[in-house]
């Protein structure tokens, strides 16, 4: 195997070595690090260089069953611990994550490709959820109801739902696992994490930190292998009581169907196709800056990415000009290189989808202002691309792009903007730029989205209920709401 370090420039070797130091080659369950009993493993590749960076075990069906066995045992121990004890473990996990922040960030960049500065931000974001739920576990109890029955005392308690399977994507390999696992662990559940086969090492590193933090055996496991084979095993096992999945809407539908067979609780954070509406009274520079952030962060491979930028006629030409100028300043390259703001696409399939959307838009009359092709940094790199005169009959207006391509269209009336923004099966996030207070209120009511940013593109964090409506998912992650998906209400009527 050719060393992936040969594909890095000299100044990035130290970051590469920090990442390698945190790279686990085995899965973790039952308090032990275990390879596949069949000896099978699969390669994991750096999307920037195409070189193999390591292998992860392809666990057998029986090993998946064993992981569930140990999670069942761990559940009994963890659920019986005092909330303060669970809080101490979570806080210790968070402390370890922040202490190894640079190495964990380098690991994300190595296996996912995003610029190192963004990876550092992801580690901070992940840690914030663990810290939040370390405190939340001490607060979320039950309540006493006013009785409608003479001589009776009515209690409502919240109990851990059971074993939780957390199935996580490749675009935020550390943060998505931390957000799910921290909430479930705070609720008193045991957790089995199944990361994307493209990015297993960030999840395995989290398992190592949780182990060092004092998480008991069986309480937090990370298993690896073929997600196509393992996901049905998790969904059909009656001992697993909740499945939390972040990924595409298509896969989310399949998971919901599998979980229906055993009446599991399902939490789904699925695709987004976010509109970004710029009204005539918007501050142009701020709108451009926010649109840049909402479009190009994580190389556009983000469910919150602005996919449909719609600008009022009065600002349209100025917006396109300013946005194109800003996009031209983006630096494409290996995420370890200084100053890089656009990394690689995750794989060739993702890049081909972007190419198809750009070609379709041009064939239907869109104007190309910037980019529009594969970047010379490598076969997985796509140029930051700006298209204007984008209309609703183009693929880019109907399919989530998941790449560094910005399609900009125009509108003339508020009702038109709302109608077009809502004309999708997705409903995760929307962005609005306006200084009209009445319009802001109308947007918050009429836009069919779970999260709406008004005059800002930065709205996520540990305290908020992250999630969407329509085909963008079920349930919420984050804040006090995030624990509720992993807890059952238990009503007790007692006569004393």
**pLDDT at 4 exceeding the cut of 70:** no
pLDDT of residue 20: 87
Q: Is the pLDDT of residue 366 over 90?
A: yes
Residue 369 and residue 358 in contact, taking contact as beta carbons nearer than 8 Å: no
Dihedral of alpha carbons 206, 211, 213, 219, sign: positive
Q: Say whether 167 sits in a helix, a strand or coil.
A: strand
CB contact at 8 A, 222 and 27: yes
pLDDT of residue 140: 74
Which strands form 473-474's sheet, in the order they lie side by side? 32-34, 27-29, 220-222, 191-194, 163-167, 240-246, 265-269, 473-474
**Strand pairing partners for 277?**
310, 432
Percent of the chain with pLDDT over 70: 97
Catalytic residue among 118, 122, 211, 269: 269
Catalytic residue (choose from 111, 303, 400, 477) = 303
Q: How far does the chain reach from its first CA to its final CA, in angstroms?
A: 71
User: Residues 323-338: what's their mean pLDDT?
Assistant: 98
Q: Which of 394, 392, 372, 391 is nearest to 383 (CA)?
A: 372
Nearest to 307 by CA among 324, 291, 319: 291
d(CA 199, CA 299): 16
Region label for 36, one of left (φ > 0), alpha (ψ between -120 and 50) or beta (otherwise): beta
- Contact between 469 and 450 under an 8 Å Cβ cutoff? The reply is yes
- Using one digit for the tens of pLDDT, what is the confidence trace for 295-328? 999 999 999 999 999 999 999 999 999 999 999 9
pLDDT tens-place string over residues 148-196: 999 999 999 999 999 999 999 999 999 999 999 999 999 999 999 999 9
- Give residue 14's pLDDT: 78
> Cβ(177)–Cβ(221) under 8 Å?
no
- Residues 420-442: tens digit of each pLDDT: 999 999 999 999 999 999 999 99
Nearest to 401 by CA among 305, 277, 275: 305
| Mean pLDDT across 209-220 | 98
Separation between Cα atoms, residue 362 and residue 387, nearest integer Å: 8
What CATH topology corresponds to 274-461?
A: Aldehyde Dehydrogenase; Chain A, domain 2 (3.40.309)
pLDDT given for residue 65 in this prediction: 99
CA angle 275, 280, 286 (to 5 degrees): 70
Helices 414-422 and 437-446, packing angle to 10 deg: 30
Instruction: State mean pLDDT over 229-257.
Output: 98
Beta strands 152-160 and 143-145, pairing class: antiparallel
Q: What SS3 string covers 262-296?
A: CCCEEEEECCCCEEEEECCCCCHHHHHHHHHHHHH
Name the residue among 89, 195, 183, 175 with its Cα closest to residue 127: 175
**pLDDT tier at 71 (50, 70, 90 boundaries)?**
very high
Angle at 356 (CA atoms; ends 292, 448), nearest 5 degrees: 55
DSSP 374-396: B-TT-TT-B--EEEES--TTSGG
Helices (H) and strands (E) in the chain, counts: 14, 20
Residue ranges of the alpha helices (H) in 297-332? 313-327
So where are the chain's domains? 4-270+473-491, 274-461
Report domain 4-270+473-491's class: alpha beta
The pair of three-digit structure tokens given for residue 496, joined into one six-digit string: 């004393």
pLDDT band, very low/low/confident/very high, at 6 (cuts 50, 70, 90): very low
Residue 94 designated active-site: no
Q: Which pair of tokens denotes residue 187?
A: 């609720």
Q: Is 259 a catalytic residue?
A: no
User: Residue 342 gets which letter from DSSP?
Assistant: B
Cite the beta strand spans of 171-293 per DSSP E. Answer: 191-194, 220-222, 240-246, 265-269, 274-278
Distance CA(53)–CA(35), nearest Å, equals 17
């Amino acid at each position: 195997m050719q060393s992936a370090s040969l594909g890095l420039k000299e100044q990035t070797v130290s970051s590469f070595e920090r990442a390698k130091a945190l790279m686990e080659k085995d899965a973790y369950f039952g308090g032990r690090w275990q390879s596949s009993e069949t000896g099978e493993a699969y390669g994991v590749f750096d999307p920037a260089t195409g070189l193999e960076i390591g292998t992860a075990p392809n666990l057998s069906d029986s090993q998946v069953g064993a992981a569930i066995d140990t999670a069942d045992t761990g559940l009994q121990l963890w659920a019986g611990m005092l909330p303060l004890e669970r809080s101490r473990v979570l806080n210790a996990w968070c402390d370890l994550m922040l202490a190894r922040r640079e190495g964990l960030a380098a690991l994300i960049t190595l296996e996912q490709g995003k610029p190192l500065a963004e990876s550092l931000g992801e580690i901070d974001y992940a840690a914030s959820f663990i810290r939040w739920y370390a405190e939340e576990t001490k607060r979320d109890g039950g309540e006493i109801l006013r009785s409608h029955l003479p001589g009776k005392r009515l209690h409502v308690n919240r109990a851990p739902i059971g074993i939780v399977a957390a199935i996580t994507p490749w675009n935020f390999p550390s943060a998505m696992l931390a957000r799910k696992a921290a909430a479930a662990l705070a609720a008193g559940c045991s957790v089995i994490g199944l990361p994307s086969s493209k990015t297993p090492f960030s999840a395995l590193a989290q398992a190592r930190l949780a182990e060092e933090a004092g998480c008991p055996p069986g309480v937090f496991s990370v298993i690896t292998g073929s997600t196509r084979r393992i996901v049905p095993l998790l969904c059909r096992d009656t001992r697993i009581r909740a499945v939390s999945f972040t990924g595409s809407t298509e896969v989310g539908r399949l998971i919901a169907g599998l979980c229906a067979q055993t009446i599991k609780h399902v939490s789904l954070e699925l695709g987004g196709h976010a509109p970004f509406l710029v009204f005539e009274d918007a501050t142009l520079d701020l709108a451009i800056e926010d649109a840049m952030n909402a479009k190009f962060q994580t190389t556009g491979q983000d469910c919150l990415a602005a996919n449909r930028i719609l600008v009022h006629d009065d600002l349209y030409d100025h917006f396109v000009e300013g946005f194109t100028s800003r996009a031209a300043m983006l630096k494409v390259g290996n995420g370890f290189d200084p100053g890089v703001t656009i990394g690689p696409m995750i794989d060739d399939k993702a890049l081909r989808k972007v190419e198809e959307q750009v070609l379709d838009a041009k064939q239907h009359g869109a104007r190309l202002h910037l980019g529009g092709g594969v970047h010379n940094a490598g076969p997985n790199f796509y140029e930051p691309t700006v298209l204007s005169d984008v209309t609703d009959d183009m693929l880019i207006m109907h399919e989530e792009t998941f790449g560094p391509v910005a399609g900009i269209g125009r509108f003339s009336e508020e009702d038109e903007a709302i109608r077009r923004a809502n004309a999708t099966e997705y409903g995760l996030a929307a962005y609005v730029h306006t200084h009209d207070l009445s319009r802001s209120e109308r947007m918050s009511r009429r836009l069919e989205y779970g999260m709406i940013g008004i005059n800002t593109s930065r709205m996520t964090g540990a305290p908020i209920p992250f999630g969407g409506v329509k085909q963008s998912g079920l349930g919420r992650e984050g804040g006090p709401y995030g624990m509720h998906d992993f807890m059952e209400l238990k009503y007790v009527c007692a006569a004393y």
